[in-house]
């Protein structure tokens, strides 16, 4: 098949840096993508076609997604093209006669039009008989509606413009049946929604598209499994204290923000992968959390995947007299990176405290620390003081519950840190 267009080296370089490289695509995949674009005359720089690459349990999968308008543009270059498809939406109350074997449709709007039943499209050809198709509305709406399928009930283009979407589906079907379009699939068929900024590569994927056309590849099913909704799986929420071991954020081929966290359950020591999808505020908050910090997390288990519902961090609370569970969420950052904290206040004199609880621990990086839950004798205020590092632990570990002692502290970003003990309270190192 003769190529319809040819990209310059500068354009190829831009396609690589703008569309392929950000999704971790390979040079071989880029060459394949450009070959398809040039063969069919689809320009990714104009949003005609999208490079899509995502990870599945069977490895990375790559596909090239176009639009109804992109397919129509390809059809115009084919021999036998005589014009765009004739299409419309059929509603309750309309007069509708459909004879697919003859490729004919008779459709008259009713005086009182009710619910959408579906849409039809007829495509003529110079040499072949016309092709007519009809697609059922409920089949596609039930599969693609964001309000019905998204775990948050967020409406998408199927909820906002249902008649336009079902008509596009009919037009795509008839274009594919009348012309050889080389296995190209569209975002309309694959339940993808164009982003608000008009970039053809910015799409959103409804959580459930199991009823989409059967010609979709099995890899689409892998992606759907990872995004399965609560209606398709038995939900199970898990709450606990987890240690953040790694964090990675990015943007999916559908332009949906995501994050991947490796966390270790503090109690069981089990390491798990936790996903965050589409929640920009949560992703940005997580990106500020230092590695090794403890987080109180609520995790939803769906179809074998872990999704973060909510988390709390000590960084979000500047009150030093916090509860034990709240203070635990920030101990790793305090123990590992104190030198990066900006000093706010420091006690110039020794204050008298009563020890209420003393806990020792070690961060994943092997740094010793201790948490001292104390009450200030003068103010009667309760707080938690961090003793960070081996030397600080050695100086304080002899203190017993109920013991009265003097101590110098400093406060940084809402946290109270041990500085030194009074001379009379120093134990044997």
Distance CA(332)–CA(398), nearest Å, equals 23
pLDDT at 83: 92
Residue 171's CB is within 10 A of a number of other CB atoms, namely 27
Per-residue pLDDT band at 302 (split at 50, 70, 90): low
Task: Label residue 303 by pLDDT band (50, 70, 90).
Answer: low
Q: Which residue has the higher pLDDT, 335 or 37?
A: 37
Pair of tokens at residue 178? 């009348």
> Mean pLDDT for the chain?
76
Structure tokens at 184: 């190209």
Report the pLDDT averaged over residues 197-205. 32
Range from 5-19, 307-321, 385-399 carrying the lowest mean pLDDT: 307-321
How many degrees, rounded to 5, is the angle at CA 217 between CA 215 and CA 222?
A: 135
Higher pLDDT, 365 or 197: 365
Cα three-residue angle 357-362-367, rounded to 5 degrees:
120
Average pLDDT value for residue range 332-348: 44
| Percentage of the chain modeled with pLDDT above 70 | 74
Q: Mapping DSSP to helix (H, G, I), strand (E, B) and coil, where does residue 158 land?
A: helix
Note the pLDDT of residue 246.
80
For helices 68-76 and 162-178, angle between their N-to-C axes, nearest 10 degrees: 30
| Residue 356 tokens, joined | 């209420």
First to last CA, the chain: 82
Would you place residue 148 in the very low, low, confident or very high pLDDT band (cuts 50, 70, 90)? confident
Q: Which of 37, 7, 40, 6 is nearest to 175 (CA)?
A: 40
- pLDDT at residue 340, as a whole number: 40
Do the beta carbons of residue 120 and residue 88 sit within 8 Å? yes
15 versus 253: the higher-pLDDT residue is 15
Q: How many CB atoms lie within 10 A of CB 394?
A: 15
Question: 191 falls in which pLDDT band (50, 70, 90)?
Answer: low
What values do phi and psi take at 224, rounded to 5? -65, -35
Q: Where is average pLDDT lowest: 32-41, 213-222, 253-262, 279-288?
A: 213-222
């Amino acid at each position: 098949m003769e190529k319809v267009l040819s990209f310059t080296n500068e354009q190829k370089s831009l396609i690589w840096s703008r569309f392929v490289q950000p999704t971790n695509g390979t040079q071989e995949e880029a060459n394949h993508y450009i070959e398809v674009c040039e063969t069919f005359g689809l320009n990714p720089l104009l949003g005609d076609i999208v490079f899509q690459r995502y990870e599945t349990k069977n490895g990375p999968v790559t596909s090239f997604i176009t639009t109804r308008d992109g397919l129509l543009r390809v059809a115009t270059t084919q021999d036998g093209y005589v014009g765009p498809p004739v299409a419309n939406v059929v509603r309750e109350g309309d007069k509708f006669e459909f004879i697919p074997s003859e490729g004919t449709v008779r459709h008259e709007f009713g005086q009182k039009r009710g619910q959408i039943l579906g849409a039809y499209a007829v495509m003529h050809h110079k040499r072949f008989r016309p092709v007519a198709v009809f697609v059922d509305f409920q089949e596609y709406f039930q599969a693609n509606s964001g309000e019905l399928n998204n775990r948050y009930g967020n409406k998408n283009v199927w909820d906002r413009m249902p008649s336009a979407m079902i008509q596009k589906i009919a037009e795509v079907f008839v274009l594919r049946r009348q012309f050889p379009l080389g296995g190209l699939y569209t975002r309309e068929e694959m339940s993808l929604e164009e982003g608000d900024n008009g970039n053809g590569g910015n799409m959103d994927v409804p959580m459930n598209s199991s009823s989409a056309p059967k010609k979709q590849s099995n890899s689409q099913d892998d992606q759907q499994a990872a995004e399965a909704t609560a209606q398709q799986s038995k939900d199970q929420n898990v709450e606990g204290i987890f240690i953040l071991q790694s964090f990675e954020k990015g943007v999916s081929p559908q332009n949906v923000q995501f994050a991947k966290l490796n966390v270790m359950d503090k109690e069981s020591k089990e390491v798990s992968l936790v996903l965050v999808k589409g929640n920009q505020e949560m992703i940005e908050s997580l990106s500020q959390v230092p590695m090794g910090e403890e987080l109180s997390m609520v995790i939803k288990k769906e179809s074998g995947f872990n999704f973060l519902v909510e988390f709390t961090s000590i960084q979000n609370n500047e009150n030093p007299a916090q509860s034990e569970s709240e203070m635990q969420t920030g101990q790793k950052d305090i123990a590992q990176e104190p030198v990066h904290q900006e000093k706010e206040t420091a006690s110039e004199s020794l204050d008298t405290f009563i020890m209420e609880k003393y806990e020792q621990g070690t961060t994943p990086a092997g740094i010793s620390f201790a948490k001292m839950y104390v009450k200030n004798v003068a103010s009667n205020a309760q707080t938690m003081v961090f003793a960070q590092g081996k030397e600080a632990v050695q100086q304080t570990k002899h203190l017993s519950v109920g013991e009265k002692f003097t101590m110098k502290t400093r406060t940084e970003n809402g946290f109270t840190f041990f500085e030194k003990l009074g001379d009379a309270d120093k134990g044997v190192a």
